[in-house]
Amino acid sequence: MVLEVSPKEKRNELIVSKDIGEKIDRILIEYKQRHKLAKHGMRNRRKVLLAGPPGTGKTMTASIIANEIKLPLFVILMDKLVTKFIGESSSKLRQVFELTTERPGVYFFGEFDTIGGERAKDNDVGEMRRVLNSFLHFIERDSSENLILAATNNIRLLDHALFRRFDDVIQYDYVRVWNVSAQ
């Protein structure tokens, strides 16, 4: 259900827009200086939503952040988290958040729309609504120093209540890389 990864990617390997790069750098700086921020009654960004089309660097960003702050990356396997049995998915989600109290790291929920979908949708399954409610409860109560990152390919699918729980949202898009030497 949770895969521990030792990432090797470095910040300079990620090709993103200047704005996205600055947001990632701010997360890294704030984490490294979180104790200074705490002395002034402030907290570093710890809960971040990464949104954008496939292949734009969301998963790589999670790896880079974990590597740069020298913490393991814990990838939450959504196919193992979500089950067909009532109550079991929320129970597994509770286990993930219990792990955050025991193991320092960067916790990455890829394919987040699996559990974060809009609760008011007509095709909503009651069990997924309960899982989302559980996630909202757990993330709100989380006071660890860990970073919690969630990624989605389609931000419009997510429930609006989620946006109040995240400290920042980073919107990814495809980056055009021009071959200057070919001109």
Residue for token digits 């960067």? Answer: 106
| Torsion from C-alpha of 44, 18, 110, 107, nearest 10 degrees | -30
Confidence band, pLDDT 50/70/90 cuts, at residue 122: low
- Specify the pLDDT at position 124: 53
- In the chain, domain spans: 2-174
Is the model more confident about 142 or about 119? 142
CATH number of 2-174: 3.40.50.300
Is the pLDDT confidence value at 121 over 70?
Answer: no
Cα–Cα dist 103/146, whole Å: 9
Is the pLDDT confidence value at 125 over 80?
Answer: no
CA dist list (Å): 104 to 74, 107, 132: 10, 9, 23
Q: Provide the residue count of the chain.
A: 183
- Specify the pLDDT at position 181: 55
